[in-house]
Amino acid sequence: MFTFTLIAMAYSIFSRAAPVAASYTQSPQFAGGKFRNAAPRHALGALKSLEVMWRFATGKPEDSVPRKPVPVYPVTRADLLAAPDLSLWRLGHSTMLFKIDGRFWLTDPVFSQRASPFQFMGPKRFHAPPITIEELPPITGVLLSHDHYDHLDYAAIQQLAPKVEHFVTPLGVGDRLIAWGVPAAKVQQFDWWQGTTVGGLQLVATPAQHFSGRSLSDGNRTLWASWVLIAGETRIFFSGDTGYFDGFKAIGERWGPFDLTLIETGAYNADWPDIHMHPEESLQAHLDVKGRHLFPIHNGTFDLSLHPWVEPFERITALAAAAQVPLVAPRMGERIDIRTPAPSTHWWRNVESQAEAPAGERSAALAPQPGAW
């Protein structure tokens, strides 16, 4: 949260005023020129905000970033084309690549080195993307959850636009894309509980509890959402960014159960409890929406909070084991089967355990293993 605030402040100094958002007076989420959550967000206040910003500037723990490289499985276009349907690759953070009915879909594509308006400051990637945009095959659709920099990457959108058929977004985010030069005919945008079907894949925008904006002058001018994806008998839930709220139960009642839930588990803190979930809440959200396999996302790529980078993985691993929930946590670039994903191998432990090992041993431990595709 405060990483975003700091870079938004810097961006506001050098940028023009944000474009005025379109009027969405028909949306129950829109009032007074802005979108809003179903329940009011917790307000820190000026003094507490300054305290938290000071902690970000001076008190970040050393282990908030990996001490050694995060392992990445390189992915090629040939790998993607040869993969079976209902395949999923995690490219980093909340960027997922799906293959469904022979078509490819991306969620929240971020390929830049930093989640920031500037590439000389802001949160820096722990690892390179497993595949470049140039190497990607034609993409049927890009699904966006909201417009924060760690989910909506201007440079990536510019590169992707020629090879993407559809951009599916919450209200207002599509207007940003059009302002950036994406043809309006490619853009569809929806309120909560609305959606579309593209190439046999049903997409439904569902509620989330978060906020939006890319500078200090455009806060909450665009909507945020989670998404339901339905391909035949297969159902997937993508949380986007959200705090825990009772909307998960409503989603589960209307659209569950889900074969796989992609649930944010990272960038949390006690000072902003209602916009990012602690691992205990991530597990509860998974249960609320009636998920089977739990895939924790929004971790392992950027340093966006004050917790150790491995903490989200370790906490959700223990919680899922205690609740007997199958956990899915693949390496970046590793393919999984959406219906029957392989269980977590705890790859992040190798990164930390090999930090003090001799160089040769580190290389062997971090290298992708044959046959893991």
3-state secondary structure the chain: CHHHHHHHHHHHHHCCCCCCCCCCCCCCCEECCEECCCCCCCCCCHHHHHHHHHHHHHCCCHHHCCCCCCCECCCCHHHHHHCCCCEEEEEECCEEEEEECCEEEEECCCCCCECCCCCCCCCECCCCCCCCCCCCCCEEEEECCCCCCCCCCHHHHHHHHHHEEEEEEECCHHHHHHHCCCCHHHEEEECCCCEEEECCEEEEEECCCCCCCCCCCCCCCCCCCEEEEEECCEEEEECCCCCCCCHHHHHHHHHCCEEEEEEECCCCCCCCCCCCCCHHHHHHHHHHCCEEEEEEECCCCCCCCCCCCCHHHHHHHHHHHHHCCCECCCCECCEEECCCCCCCCCHHHHHHHCCCCCHHHHHHHHCCCCCCC
Q: Residue 114: what are its φ and ψ, rounded to 5°? A: -130, 145
CA separation for the pair 370, 175 (Å, rounded): 44
Domains detected in the chain:
2-16+53-365 (3.60.15.10)
Paired with 106 in beta bridges are 97, 142
- pLDDT, residue 270, reads 87
Q: Is 125 left (phi over 0), alpha (psi -120 to 50) or beta?
A: beta
- pLDDT, residue 51, reads 73
> With 0-12 CB in 10 A as exposed, 13-18 as middle and 19+ as buried, what is 197?
exposed
- pLDDT, residue 271, reads 85
- pLDDT, residue 21, reads 52
CA separation for the pair 140, 118 (Å, rounded): 29
Per-residue pLDDT of the chain (373 residues; tens, 9 = 90+): 545 454 544 443 334 444 545 568 899 999 999 999 998 777 776 776 777 677 767 778 889 999 999 999 999 999 999 999 999 999 999 999 999 999 999 999 999 999 999 888 889 999 999 999 999 999 999 999 999 999 999 999 999 999 999 999 999 999 999 999 999 999 999 999 999 999 999 999 999 999 999 998 899 999 999 999 999 999 999 999 999 999 999 999 999 999 999 999 999 998 888 999 999 999 999 999 999 999 999 999 999 998 999 999 999 999 999 999 999 999 999 999 999 999 989 999 999 876 554 444 443 333 332 222 2
- pLDDT, residue 23, reads 66
